Structure 1
């Protein structure tokens, strides 16, 4: 696999991470042999340092630093919410045209990795801006209560950085992201697999805007839809609202 590099200078490199690719090695996924961090390092011939998270099933822009000092500076920008991130998602139902989701989230703990973490830690503030982009209605009865099935393409801007925030916020407003096996709707996930040949989480990190930590230039990164995402949208667009 050859990763698509969308930006590179003396201090930073950004790739378009495919869905399903881990960012780095994890003892929770010991059987995996490919990781974005190592693949980027081998591809550019230089060590890279992660500065933010991107879940394994999520595709899109993944930024690395090329030295520890730049990594610290960029990580601090992410922590201070000085970085603007935009995601696209395909969700169940007709999502609203615009909505501010302000819903605190309790930390999601892994049974093994977080075995000694505080389970009583209070919920943390979490905020997401939603904008509806397109709506679709497919003539298939995925749910026995409805003769057709509705979906939306939405734009999501997380204002905070909680674990699985976008997936949990969309589930909270009853518009789960298609392909989300943890917070989503199994019937619609199965429909997309069996009828649309779509086996992935339909969540993509689409744009990333920030001030360069060294040059202070305004950096604006954006990616186009990958082949699989484009094919899925083309199938949905046969049934526009």
Structure 2
């Protein structure tokens, strides 16, 4: 595996461009996977690091880690209090509105059935950046298939929030094996020549620091053109 690319560093924080397919830290949900961003960074740098937030294994982009427990506490509070802005790029099924806000409470644990769980507030703003109509058939009612590139800014930070919110408005993310549609995932993977969850953390703004950015990888080129 290629070395992890550091996109920002100061006395308290390190930020990397996490590749899709890499865990942030070991997880019981993926017990067979031994690699993680945290372990690779600790081994490469020889220092202990603490992640300030989560990125799903399939999500790429900005991942911020603290270099001390004090920095981890302060950074964690900034995330919890909503003082961190973050923007993601996502490829979704269909053409959502040009812009909107999804204000939909979510069950606390996405790994468990929603019924009976506490619902916690969750808000995501989004803007549609581009529309695509590609010449392949997934639905027998339509000769072509529609997708859109969106920018999403989660105001809150719930697990799988963007994925669950876009499923809620009937525009699930492409490549999402949990909340998406397998037929669309397979068709787009063949069309674009890449199999992945199409979700990338493009930038973050933490209090008192410059914007930390990670450009999307080459597989996004056709969508950004």
Fold match, TM over 0.5? yes
**1:149 and 1:202, CA in 2 relative to 1: closer, same or farther beyond 3 A?**
same
Q: Look up the match of 1:209.
A: 205
Structure 2 CA distance, aligned partners of 1:163 and 1:11?
A: 25
Structure 2 CA distance, aligned partners of 1:107 and 1:35?
A: 24
Larger Rg: 1
Q: Look up the match of 1:132.
A: 128
Tell me by how many angstroms 1:9 deviates. 1.3
Over 6 Å off, 4+ runs:
none
CA-to-aligned-CA distance 1:155-176 (integer Å, 9 cap, x gap): 0000111111100110111111
TM-score with structure 1 setting the length:
0.88
5+ unaligned residues in a row in structure 1: which ranges?
Answer: 212-216
**1:178 and 1:139, CA in 2 relative to 1: closer, same or farther beyond 3 A?**
same
Q: Look up the match of 1:224.
A: 215
Tell me by how many angstroms 1:109 deviates. 4.7
Q: After alignment, is 28-37 or 199-208 more displaced?
A: 28-37
8 Å Cα contact 2:86-2:205 kept in structure 1: yes
Match of 1:152 among 141, 148, 154: 148
Q: Look up the match of 1:95.
A: 96
Alignment RMSD, CA only? Answer: 1.8
CA-to-aligned-CA distance 1:110-139 (integer Å, 9 cap, x gap): 36xx9xxx9633311111001010111112
Tell me by how many angstroms 1:43 deviates. 2.3
CA-to-aligned-CA distance 1:215-237 (integer Å, 9 cap, x gap): xx33211111212222x527xx6
TM-score with structure 2 setting the length:
0.94
Structure 1 CA distance, aligned partners of 2:122 and 2:148?
A: 22
Mapping of residues 65-144 of structure 1, within 5 Å: 65-110=66-111, 120-144=116-140
CA-to-aligned-CA distance 1:64-99 (integer Å, 9 cap, x gap): 000000000000110001000100001111121111
Structure 2 CA distance, aligned partners of 1:69 and 1:119?
A: 38
Tell me by how many angstroms 1:101 deviates. 0.7
Aligned length: 224
